[in-house]
Structure 1
Amino acid sequence: MKKVFLFLLFCAAMVCKIQSQTIEDLMNEVSTANLQTNVSILSGEQSATINGSTQTIVSRVQSNNDLAAEFIKEQLEELPNLSVEFQDFNTQGKNIIATQLGQTNPDDIYLVCAHYDSVTTYCADDNATGVSAVIEIARILSSQCLDKTIVYALWDEEEIGLLGANYYAQQAADETNGNTRDNILGVLNMDMIGYDGDAPGTAGDNDFDIDVRNIANSIAIKDDLLNILNTYTFDLNPIVVNPGTTASDHSRFWNQNYSAVLVGESWETNDETPNYHTSNDRVVDIDFQYMAELTKLVLVYMTTKAQLVTIDNTISVTENSLMSNDTSASYQWYNCDTNTPISGETNQTFVPTSSGNYAVEVTNGSCTELSPCVAFSLLSFEEFSDEDIQIHPNPIRSILNIENNSHSELEISIFDINGKTIFKSHSGNSTIQIDIKNNASGIYFLKLTSEAKSSIYKFVKE
Structure 2
Amino acid sequence: MKTFKTTILCLFLCAFNSQAQSIQDIIDKVSLDTLSLTIQEFSGETATVVDGNSVTITNRQQANNDLAADYLVQKLEQHNNLTITDQSFNSNGRNIIATQLGKTNPDDIYIICAHYDSVADYCADDNVTGTTAVLEAARLLSTQCLDNTIVYALWDEEEIGLNGSSFYAAQAAGNGDNILGVLNLDMMGYDGDPSGSAGDNQFDIDVRNFAGSIAMKDDIIAVLNSYTFDLSVIEVNPGTFSSDHSSFWANGYSAVLLGESWETNDQTPFYHSSGDRYSTLDLPYFYELTKLTTAYMATVGGLVGVDNRITQTVTTLTSNQASASYQWINCDTDSPISGATAQSYLPTVSGNYAVEVTSGTCVEISDCVAFLTLGLDDFLANEIKVFPNPVKSNLNVEISGNTESIALDLFDVSGKLVMQKSITNEAISMQIKNLPRGIYFLKVSSSEKTGTYKIVKE
- The normalised TM-score by structure 1 is 0.86
Q: Is the 8 A contact 1:414 1:447 kept in 2?
A: yes
Residue 331 of structure 1 pairs with residue 326 of structure 2: yes
- Aligned partners of 1:4 and 1:380 also within 8 Å: no
Residues 61-111 of structure 1 show CA distances to partners (whole Å, capped at 9, x for unaligned) of: 111111111111111111111111201111111111100000011000000
Structure 1 residue 299, shift from structure 2 partner:
1.2
Aligned to 2:192: 197
- The answer (yes or no) to whether the contact 1:321–1:419 under 8 Å persists in 2 is no
Aligned equivalent of 2:250: 255
Cα distance, 1:214 vs. partner? 0.4
Pair 451,105 (structure 1): closer, same or farther in 2 beyond 3 Å: closer
CA distance in 1 between counterparts of 2:390 and 2:63 reads: 66
Question: What is the match of residue 431 of structure 1?
Answer: none
Equivalent pairs, count: 440
Q: Which runs of 5+ in 1 are unaligned?
A: 175-179, 403-410, 428-433
SS in structure 1 opposite 2:7? Answer: strand
Matched residue, 1:418:
417
**Per the alignment, do residues 63 and 169 of structure 1 end up closer, same or farther by CA in structure 2, a change over 3 Å counting?**
same
What is residue 309 of structure 2 aligned with on the other side? Answer: 314
Percent of residue pairs bearing the same amino acid type: 56
Q: Which moved more, 1:331-340 or 1:102-111?
A: 331-340
How many Å separate the matches in 1 of 2:425 and 2:348?
Answer: 21
Partners of 1:210 and 1:261 within 8 A in 2: yes
Which position in structure 2 is the counterpart of 1:348?
Answer: 343
TM-superposed CA distance for 1:452, in Å, is 10
Secondary structure, in 3 states, of the residue corresponding to 1:352? coil
Counterpart-to-counterpart distance in 2, 1:251 and 1:192: 16
What is the CA–CA distance in structure 1 between the aligned matches of 2:217 and 2:180, rounded to whole Å?
A: 13
1:400 Cα shift?
Answer: 7.9
TM-score, structure 2 normalization:
0.87
Query: Is the 1:83–1:99 Cα contact (8 Å) retained in structure 2?
Result: yes
Residue 239, structure 1, aligned to residue 241, structure 2: no
The Cα of 1:353 is off from its aligned counterpart by 1.2
Report what 2:160 is aligned to. 160
Moved more, 94-103 or 55-64: 55-64
Quick one: which amino acid aligns to residue 125 of structure 1?
Answer: D
Letter in 2 for 1:461: K
Q: Distance in 2 between matches of 1:424 and 1:50?
A: 56
Aligned residue in 2 for 1:177: none
Q: Letter of the 1:313 partner, please give it.
A: N
Does the C-alpha gap of structure 1 residues 97 and 9 become closer, same or farther in structure 2, counting only changes over 3 Å? closer
* Residue type of the alignment partner of 1:169: A
State the shift of 1:361 in Å. Answer: 1.3
CA distance in 2, matches of 1:202, 1:351: 54
- Equivalent residues of 1:200, 1:288 under 8 A apart: no
Which residue of structure 2 aligns with residue 407 of structure 1?
Answer: none
In structure 2, the CA distance between the partners of 1:120 and 1:49, relative to structure 1 (3 Å rule), is same
1:290-309 to 2 correspondences below 5 Å: 290-309=285-304
Paired residue secondary structure (2:57) = coil
- Structure-2 residue corresponding to 1:141: 141
Write the distance in 2 (CA, Å) between the matches of 1:102 and 1:412.
44
Assess, with a 3 A threshold, how the Cα gap between structure 1 residues 230 and 447 changes in structure 2: closer, same or farther.
closer
Residues 222 and 261, structure 1, Cα contact 8 Å, conserved in 2: yes
Q: Aligned with 1:445: secondary structure?
A: strand
Whole-angstrom CA distance in 1 between matches of 2:238 and 2:196: 31
Match in the other structure for 1:206: 201
Cα 1:392–1:195, aligned 2, differ >3 Å: closer, same or farther?
A: same
CA distance in 1, matches of 2:410, 2:170: 61
Instruction: Report whether the alignment pairs 1:88 with 2:88.
Output: yes
Question: What SS class does the counterpart of residue 266 from structure 2 fall into?
Answer: coil
Provide the C-alpha distance between the structure 2 equivalents of 1:96 and 1:255, rounded to a whole number of angstroms.
21
**Corresponding letter in the other structure for 1:445:** F
Relative to structure 1, is the Cα distance of residues 87 and 461 closer, same or farther in structure 2, using a 3 angstrom cutoff? Answer: farther
- Report the CA distance between 1:439 and its aligned residue: 5.1
State the partner residue of 1:374: 369
Counterpart in the other structure of 2:70: 70
* Rounded Cα–Cα distance in structure 2 between residues aligned with 1:256 and 1:435: 71
C-alpha displacement at 1:392, in angstroms? 11
CA deviation profile, 1:161-212 (whole Å, cap 9, x unmatched): 11111111011011xxxxx400000000000010001358999621111011
Where structure 2 has 5 or more consecutive residues not aligned to the other structure, the ranges are 398-405
Measure the CA separation in 2 of the matches of 1:256 and 1:106. Answer: 21
- 1:114-133 mapped onto 2 (5 Å cutoff): 114-133=114-133
Distance 1:71 1:456 in 2: 47
Q: CA deviation at 1:413?
A: 4.5
Shift of 1:373: 2.1
Q: Give distance in 1, aligned partners of 2:454 and 2:196.
A: 52
Match of 2:105 in 1: 105
Aligned to 1:408: none
Return the match for 2:358 from 360, 363, 385: 363
Alpha-carbon distance, 1:401 to partner: 11
Output the amino acid matched with 1:16: A
Question: Quick one: distance in 1 between partners of 2:431 and 2:47?
Answer: 59
**1:188, 1:250 within 8 Å by CA — same for their partners in 2?**
yes
CA–CA distance in structure 1, aligned partners of residues 301 and 154 of structure 2? 19
AA aligned to 1:278 is: S
Instruction: Provide the residue aligned with 1:430 in structure 2.
Output: none
Please state whether the residue corresponding to 2:374 is helix, strand or coil: strand
Paired residues of 1:201 and 1:290 also in contact (CA < 8 A): no
1:442-457 matches, cutoff 5 A: 444-447=440-443, 456=452
Q: Kindly indicate whether the alpha-carbon contact (under 8 Å) linking 2:112 and 2:151 is maintained by their aligned counterparts in 1.
A: yes
> Who is 1:6 aligned against?
8
Partner of 1:228: 223
Task: Work out whether 1:169 is the aligned partner of 2:142.
Answer: no
Name the structure 2 match of 1:183.
178
Q: What one-letter code is carried by the residue in structure 1 that aligns with 2:368?
A: C
Shift of 1:315: 1.3
Equivalent pair of 1:10/1:377 in contact (CA under 8 Å):
no
